């Protein structure tokens, strides 16, 4: 009997496509590579993400894109552009809940197969050095409280990458050439966390 090849849908923005690095260095691709090295059969991830997208823009795109009915795993990482553009938290909360419900639908309503990642903190990047860094960090934290609470409400997996992204303050090798996005090295850290969560979910079904 042939092995089941798992499918993975990654929803998000520049952090999901890996702005500043080759596509195969983004965290969804690196996660799949790790899972394959651990003996899991995975198709290449399907990525619905674009640099600059807010929650509303991601939602709009999903509604007008023909995707598969179901995927084995779905990740959702979005919100930094809401913060960057000064959009309010109420709209973010409503949009994020809509997106999470869509993610659950794509994952056949299996909460353990949906992974929410927290929003990275770009306030410590060189790009932000002449900006109000504490204000940025505080706003990112506020958005992350919202997405973490909604993730808990729907009992999906939650991966906190925000603290990891703050390491760039002391290690510029974690930053891409644009001084704003992350390097393959930082995406590899997220990929390890995501692949661990996925592998645990697969093992729980066996």
For residue 22, how far is the Cα from the chain centroid?
17
pLDDT at 96 over 90: yes
pLDDT tens-digit readout, 139-170: 999 999 999 999 999 999 999 999 999 998 88
* Cα torsion angle, 185, 18, 191, 194, sign: positive
For residue 145, how far is the Cα from the chain centroid?
15
d(CA 80, CA 77): 9
**Average pLDDT value for the chain:** 95
- The CATH class of 8-205 is alpha beta
pLDDT at 7 over 80: yes
pLDDT of residue 63: 94
Instruction: Find tokens 């794509």 and name the residue.
Output: 106
Query: Up-side HSE of residue 106: CA atoms within 13 Å toward CB?
Result: 25
pLDDT tens-digit readout, 100-147: 999 999 999 999 999 999 999 999 999 988 899 999 999 999 999 999
pLDDT (average), residues 80-104:
98
- Compute the CA torsion angle 20, 128, 136, 59 (nearest 10 deg): -30
pLDDT at 2 over 70: no
Decide: pTM greater than 0.75.
yes
pLDDT of residue 206: 66
Give the residue from 192, 39, 203 showing the smallest Cα distance to 113: 203
Model confidence band, residue 3 (pLDDT cutoffs 50, 70, 90): confident
d(CA 18, CA 32): 14
Residue % of the chain over a pLDDT of 90: 91
């Amino acid at each position: 009997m042939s092995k089941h090849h798992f499918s993975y849908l990654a929803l998000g923005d520049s952090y999901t496509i890996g702005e500043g690095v080759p596509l195969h260095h983004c965290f969804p691709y690196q996660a799949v590579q790790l899972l394959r090295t651990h003996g899991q059969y995975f198709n290449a991830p399907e990525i619905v993400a674009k640099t600059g997208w807010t929650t509303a823009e991601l939602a709009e795109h999903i509604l007008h894109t023909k995707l598969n009915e179901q995927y084995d795993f779905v990740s959702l990482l979005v919100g930094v552009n809401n913060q960057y553009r000064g959009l309010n938290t109420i709209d973010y909360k409503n949009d994020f809940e809509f997106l999470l419900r869509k993610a659950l639908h794509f994952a056949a309503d299996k909460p353990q197969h949906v992974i929410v990642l927290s929003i990275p903190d770009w306030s410590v990047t060189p790009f932000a050095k002449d900006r109000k860094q504490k204000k940025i960090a505080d706003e990112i934290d506020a958005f992350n409280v919202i997405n973490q609470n909604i993730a808990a409400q729907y009992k999906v997996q939650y991966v906190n990458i925000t603290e990891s992204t703050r390491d760039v303050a002391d290690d510029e090798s974690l930053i891409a050439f644009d001084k704003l996005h992350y390097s393959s090295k930082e995406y590899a850290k997220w990929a390890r966390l995501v692949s661990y969560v996925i592998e645990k979910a697969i093992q729980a079904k066996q």
